[in-house]
């Protein structure tokens, strides 16, 4: 017999990871499968829903074959990615449209020109940007109508978590949680329900959308033929909110940054939905259902940075500068600085605090003496510089002087990045022992509902720091150099903006 554990299903942008999390916080075994990225047109990014589900089945069974059945299951997912499927047959209507996809940029521009931006901001806490799910959903509906002559009555629209949940329960449950719903541009974060008003504006009927249930609560149990049955599914959260939970950022003012394909800075702002703030998103962090049935909802400020780790992949796959992502830090350390080279990785536009879908990637400051090492360092610096812009917007919006940033994600293993980050922010950066905080948060949410962990205080006691990165002293030459670097970065960002006047 193994110790009781919670199974976390983490359906990310490039693959699915299942892992076991034990009650004492020990990291259990994990299984991972990549799935295919499709780029059918410039600016389009797609996934095959059936391939995602197949990866879930494979990784799920590898863990349960080792450990037996978990106490419960938590799901976390790439949030704004959407798909349509038939609620009766399970047939998916085309591929899923990924959060990075920009095909609806002109639709968002049109909605803004019609005066809907303030409406979207006040109701959803978001901005009019193709990043979010609503205009993607409307695009799918139009594509299905054009292909079939009409939209089937049983067509259902959802994010990847709802697709996985539907399959796990063999079509019995059509649901998501508020952290995912709040990323659709169709969810009223103050009322905590789908918005009929924005449904009409965007063109996505509420009847096509799934039920919204608390992030930590009952979602049904497994009944799919390919998997063990009867396991409770008791936690769902979008990947970045799950990481905030997994980093034990339970008090207002606590913040984390996940360095993944993109980077996402979230700060807990408590249980009162605040007014919108320029350059930032307001989102539901999570909702917890107590044993007496009461629900507590926590909100967060978010800064979404579209490209960080994806820029490392570009160096590897697009330019061939490195053979593996792990080589970038050692290459960057071969030079003392960036040699005047700056990389603005706006491959999918710019997110917070600029929100410019027409920005494009650019490299500035090249000379005959520039080397691949300078470019590698410039890419690492771009991660820290974009995060500084995001954190500054949060400081301005909240009036809170953050003292620490907790970090996770693949790139957080780079000490060079975190040294640069601490200096750019002028505050401590702390890396946890368990860096897979997205799946950890999903497990915590699920286990909290089932009593595996009694309180968030018990969860926080399991959080452990591996490394601390301190900034250089204010007024030191090193901090002056960091500020000068940031000043030049802002010049580079400005030159990359509004490059593409239209999307094709």
Q: For 43-72, how does the pLDDT look when each residue is reduced to its tens digit (9 = 90+)?
A: 899 999 999 999 999 999 999 999 999 999
- The predicted-structure confidence for 209-224, as pLDDT tens digits, reads as follows 999 999 999 999 999 9
Quick check: 503 pLDDT over 70? no
Q: Provide CB contacts within 8 A for 493, sequence distance 6+.
A: 344, 350, 354, 359
Q: Provide CB contacts within 8 A for 50, sequence distance 6+.
A: 92
CA proximity to 287, closest of 449, 114, 439: 449
Confidence bin at 504 (pLDDT 50/70/90): very low
Report CA Rg, the chain.
22
Cα-Cα-Cα-Cα dihedral sign, residues 450, 285, 266, 51: positive
Quick check: 178 pLDDT over 50? yes
CA proximity to 343, closest of 136, 149, 492: 492
CA proximity to 179, closest of 302, 81, 299, 286: 286
CA proximity to 283, closest of 262, 300, 271, 258: 300
443: tokens are: 């497990």
Global pTM?
0.88
Exposure string for 168-203, b = 16+ CB within 10 A, e = fewer: bbbbebebbbbbbbbbbbbbbbeebebbeebbebbe
- The predicted-structure confidence for 254-264, as pLDDT tens digits, reads as follows 999 999 888 98
Q: For residues 27-52, give the mean pLDDT.
A: 94
Q: For residues 389-393, give the mean pLDDT.
A: 91
* Cα-to-chain-centroid distance, residue 422: 22
């Amino acid at each position: 017999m193994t110790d009781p554990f919670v199974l976390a299903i983490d359906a990310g942008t490039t693959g699915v990871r299942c892992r076991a999390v034990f009650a004492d916080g020990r990291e259990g075994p994990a299984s991972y499968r990549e799935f295919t990225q499709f780029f059918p047109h410039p600016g389009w990014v797609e996934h095959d829903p059936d391939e995602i589900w197949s990866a879930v089945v494979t990784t799920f069974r590898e863990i349960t074959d080792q450990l037996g059945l978990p106490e419960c299951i938590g799901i976390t997912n790439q949030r704004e990615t959407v798909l349509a499927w038939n609620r009766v047959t399970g047939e998916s209507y085309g591929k899923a449209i990924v959060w990075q996809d920009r095909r609806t940029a002109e639709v968002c521009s049109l909605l803004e020109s019609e005066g809907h931006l303030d409406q979207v901001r006040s109701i959803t806490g978001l901005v009019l940007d193709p990043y979010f799910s609503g205009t993607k959903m409307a695009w799918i509906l139009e594509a299905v109508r054009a292909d079939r002559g009409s939209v089937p009555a049983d067509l259902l629209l959802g994010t990847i978590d709802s697709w996985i949940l539907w399959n796990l329960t063999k079509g019995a449950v059509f649901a998501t949680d508020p952290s995912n719903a709040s990323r659709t541009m169709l969810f009223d974060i103050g009322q905590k329900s789908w918005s009929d008003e924005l449904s009409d504006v965007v063109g996505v009927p509420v009847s096509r959308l799934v039920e919204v249930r608390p992030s930590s609560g009952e979602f049904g149990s497994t009944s799919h033929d390919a998997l063990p049955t009867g396991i409770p599914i008791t936690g769902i959260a979008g990947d970045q909110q799950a990481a905030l939970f997994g980093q034990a950022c339970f008090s207002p003012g606590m913040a984390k940054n996940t360095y993944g394909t993109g980077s996402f800075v979230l700060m807990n702002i408590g249980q009162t939905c605040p007014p919108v703030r320029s350059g930032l998103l307001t989102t539901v962090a999570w909702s917890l259902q107590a044993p007496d049935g009461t629900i507590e909802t926590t909100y967060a400020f978010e800064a979404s940075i579209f490209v960080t780790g994806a820029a490392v992949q570009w160096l590897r796959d697009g330019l061939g500068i490195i053979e593996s992502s792990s080589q970038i830090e050692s290459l960057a350390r071969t030079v003392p600085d960036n040699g005047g080279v700056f990389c603005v990785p706006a491959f999918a536009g710019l997110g917070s605090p600029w929100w410019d879908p027409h920005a494009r990637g650019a490299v500035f400051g090249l000379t005959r003496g520039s080397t691949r090492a300078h470019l590698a360092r410039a890419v690492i610096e771009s991660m820290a510089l974009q995060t500084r812009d995001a954190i500054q917007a949060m400081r301005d919006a909240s009036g809170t002087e953050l003292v620490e940033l907790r970090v996770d994600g693949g790139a957080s293993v780079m000490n060079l990045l975190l040294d640069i980050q601490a200096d750019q922010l002028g505050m401590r950066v702390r890396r946890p022992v368990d860096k897979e905080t997205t799946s950890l948060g999903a497990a915590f949410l699920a286990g909290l509902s089932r009593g595996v962990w009694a309180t968030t205080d018990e969860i926080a006691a399991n959080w452990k720091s591996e490394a601390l990165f301190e900034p250089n002293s204010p007024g030191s030459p090193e901090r002056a150099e960091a500020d000068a670097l940031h000043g030049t970065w802002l010049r580079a960002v400005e030159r990359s903006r509004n490059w593409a006047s239209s999307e094709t």
